[in-house]
Amino acid sequence: MFQKTIAKTVRCSGVGVHTGKEISLALHAAPDNFGIWFKRSDLSADKALIPASWSHVTDTNFCSTLSSEEGHTVATVEHLMAALSAQKIDNLLVEVNGPELPIMDGSSAPFVDLIEKAGTISSLTPRKFLKILKKVTVYQGDAWASLEPAHGFSLTYDFRLRCKKDSLETFKTKDVHAAFKEALSSARTFGFMEDAEHLRAKGLAQGASLENTVVFEDGEVLNKDGLRFEDECARHKALDAIGDLYLAGAPLMGHFHGHLSGHKVNNTLLRALFADPTAWTLATEKDLQTIPVAQKRRSAV
């Protein structure tokens, strides 16, 4: 019910999956109502801050990239954002010394561990929840995504692996926060060997390896230890969606259903949601229990 931040500063480092460069990251506590902001420590102080907001997503090609008003960027934020959502962190300053976050092992698990190492502090300021009031759906080709009213935050994700076109995997959970650590956090990003040369020629995936990516070739997994879950790819896409949705600026109360959706569709869904003020409300848990729906609508986050 109350806003949380971390108890102490924690740090980690690792390679950037796209730049291939070593990246250092630090998580710092922040005051109530601060929200989540990224700080580029390699830039001058007056241009270094970038808000973790759906409205600042400027690129969804293989990851979610945020941009400041000055055009400075930070990419691959979704794995950390998913961990922050699951750990119910409302206020945080994320300091990073480059244009993307470290990929770590390709999942959110290292970030969950980092937050648990830091510990958390709750304030006396109530959390504000983004309550979905009516169904909103967006489409892109065969992919679509929707948000609809529900108690708590639940999720359904349908995924079809490119090398298994006749097999649709579906991951479901009635409680995203309760399921995240054990069922989702360790699901890794994935790719296909046949795409590697093309991506690297475009300046992407420079740091991708079997240490941080599940790699398929001719339908087979190249990683020595195989998959962590039989449906690891579907779970990772669900993890990505949770991170993308936390860019809404508040924890969700509603049901998300993604069908073959990726970062672009997820962000388009938030833009469609906030374009319709009758589709959502922002309120504390106490407000949601006592105030009629007609009185709870507010302007966009």
Share of the chain above pLDDT 70, in %: 95
Comparing CA positions, the residue from 126, 171, 175 lying closest to residue 150 is 175
The reply to whether 301 falls in a domain is no
Domain limit, last residue, from 111, 126, 141: 126
Q: Which residues are catalytic?
A: 263
Is pLDDT of 299 > 50?
Answer: no
Q: Round the average pLDDT of the chain to a whole number and report it.
A: 93
Contacts 24+ apart (CB under 8 A), 164-172: 164/219, 169/231, 169/233, 169/234, 170/234, 171/231, 171/234, 171/235, 171/238
Specify whether 6 is located in the same domain as 149. Answer: no
Domain limit, last residue, from 64, 97, 126: 126
* Span 161-201, pLDDT tens digits: 987 777 899 999 999 999 999 999 999 999 999 999 899 99
pLDDT value, residue 295: 41
Residue 203 structural domain? 129-295
Is pLDDT of 204 > 90?
Answer: no
DSSP 228: S
Specify whether 164 is located in the same domain as 278. Answer: yes
Is pLDDT of 293 > 60?
Answer: no
* Span 59-116, pLDDT tens digits: 999 999 999 988 999 999 999 999 999 999 999 999 999 999 999 999 999 999 999 9
Specify whether 142 is located in the same domain as 269. Answer: yes
Tell me what the mean pLDDT of segment 23-42 comes to.
97
- pTM beyond 0.85: the answer is yes
pLDDT value, residue 167: 84
Q: How is residue 298 written in tokens? A: 């507010």
pLDDT value, residue 215: 96
CA distances from 126 to 3, 40, 109, 236, 284 (A): 6, 29, 27, 31, 6
Confidence of residue 291 (pLDDT cuts 50, 70, 90): very low
